[in-house]
Amino acid sequence: MTVGLYVGDGLRRYAFGDGHPFGPDRLDAFWTEAQKQGLDQRVTLLEPVSTDRAAIERFHTKDYVDLVIERSGAGTGFLDYGDTPAFAGVYEAAACVVGTVLDACDRVISGELRHAFVPIAGLHHAQRNSASGFCALNDCGIAIETLRAKHGMERVAYVDIDAHHGDGVYYGFEDDPALIFVDLHEDGRFLYPGTGHAHETGRGEAKGTKLNIPMPPESGDAHFMQEWERAEAYLDAARPEFILFHCGADSLAGDPITHLRYSAAAHGHAAERLCALAERHCQGRLVAMGGGGYNRANLAAAWTRVLDRMAENANQATA
Ligand SMILES: [Zn+2]
């Protein structure tokens, strides 16, 4: 049993140009560090793959997909009110992020892989009918819908430690009791998108099925580890059949656009615990998505730590 890692131009193309916080050099920074640590020798390398419109429309509305395709062809303007520029080919690039996450889910379910990691993925701000915060298509939401529709998974868990609240996933499933949702993020009073308050636990029938943990600005590893225990107890009780892990690295100290102060140890801790949790509940089925992270050294450190913990666990699970 092994861990799949997706790298290649297909993922690199989802970026907003050189010099942008979400630039193409993010993937390069991670990949250089992964090779330096010899992680490329401990995982199975896989090529990114695209997907079709039918899969995308499991989460997004038809009208919104039409709009992304149209602006992607034009290559100008914005997909939202100003955060997410429509570069030429943005639809194809985002569809490749989505397809790669879906491929990772397929290979984990088939047993070919124990876990998988997709560094450029986790576009968690896109809503069902709109773009937001650098996110054109919500690969996380599409993966959740696909795990249900294609693989019959009922209890999918989505765990997010990016500094920003995963609002596209939260509001996309706010009234859906089957989605197990845990999100530790910087308190919305201090950071975009301003949501994810502790009282947001789901709506209607889904009330109590979502756990939002807002962290005060400047929170470090100690506070993260303490709150993690609550997140883990909640996940254990929910007995997931599949775990999607959004390991955004913008929650590390030194990120240019957020105010949390974790180190890569927080990401390593979460990854190690989620691997163990996945072994307890669902034969190790865990797919991680890189998410945010705009300080290149930070994202390289956090994402390689996650990948290292996954490779170590898969090795032990096999032994
Ligand atoms: Zn973020």
- Summary count for the chain: helices (H), strands (E): 10, 8
State yes or no: pLDDT of 319 exceeds 80.
no
Structure tokens, 44: 């199975």
Q: What percent of the chain has pLDDT over 90?
A: 93
Q: What is the mean pLDDT of residues 195-199?
A: 98
Cα(179) to ligand 1 centroid in Å equals: 21
State yes or no: pLDDT of 184 exceeds 70.
yes
Q: What value does the mean pLDDT of the chain take?
A: 96
Q: What is the pLDDT of residues 105-146, one digit of tens each?
A: 999 999 999 999 999 999 999 999 999 999 999 999 999 999
Q: What is the pLDDT of residues 213-264, one digit of tens each?
A: 999 999 999 999 999 999 999 999 999 999 999 999 999 999 999 999 999 9
Cα(211) to ligand 1 centroid in Å equals: 18
State yes or no: pLDDT of 69 exceeds 60.
yes
Of 155, 165, 172, 183, the closest CA to residue 278 belongs to: 155
114 DSSP 8-state letter: S
Quickly state the pLDDT bin for 317 (edges 50, 70, 90).
Answer: confident
Cα(234) to ligand 1 centroid in Å equals: 23
The predicted model scores a pTM of 0.97
Strand, helix or coil at 10? Answer: helix
Cα(318) to ligand 1 centroid in Å equals: 34
pLDDT value, residue 83: 83
Question: What span, in angstroms and rounded, lies between the C-alpha atoms of 230 and 227?
Answer: 5
Cα(167) to ligand 1 centroid in Å equals: 11
118 DSSP 8-state letter: E
Question: What span, in angstroms and rounded, lies between the C-alpha atoms of 76 and 49?
Answer: 25
Cα(300) to ligand 1 centroid in Å equals: 15
Beta bridge partners of 212: 183
Q: Hey, CA dihedral for 297, 302, 307, 308, is it positive or negative?
A: positive
pLDDT value, residue 318: 67
Q: What is the pLDDT of residues 160-175, one digit of tens each?
A: 999 999 999 999 999 9
Q: How far is CA 130 from CA 60, 126, 153, 209, in A?
A: 8, 6, 26, 24
Cα(260) to ligand 1 centroid in Å equals: 11
Q: Hey, CA dihedral for 250, 37, 28, 104, is it positive or negative?
A: negative
Cα(136) to ligand 1 centroid in Å equals: 14
pLDDT value, residue 134: 93
State yes or no: pLDDT of 13 exceeds 60.
yes
CA 184 to chain centroid, in Å, comes to 13
Cα(38) to ligand 1 centroid in Å equals: 27
- Full 3-state SS string of 263-319: CHHHHHHHHHHHHHHHHHHHCCCEEEECCCCCCHHHHHHHHHHHHHHHHHHHHHHHC
Q: What is the pLDDT of residues 77-97, one digit of tens each?
A: 899 888 898 999 999 999 999
Q: What is the pLDDT of residues 266-306, one digit of tens each?
A: 999 999 999 999 999 999 999 999 999 999 999 999 999 99
Overall size of the chain counted in residues: 319
Question: What span, in angstroms and rounded, lies between the C-alpha atoms of 96 and 90?
Answer: 10
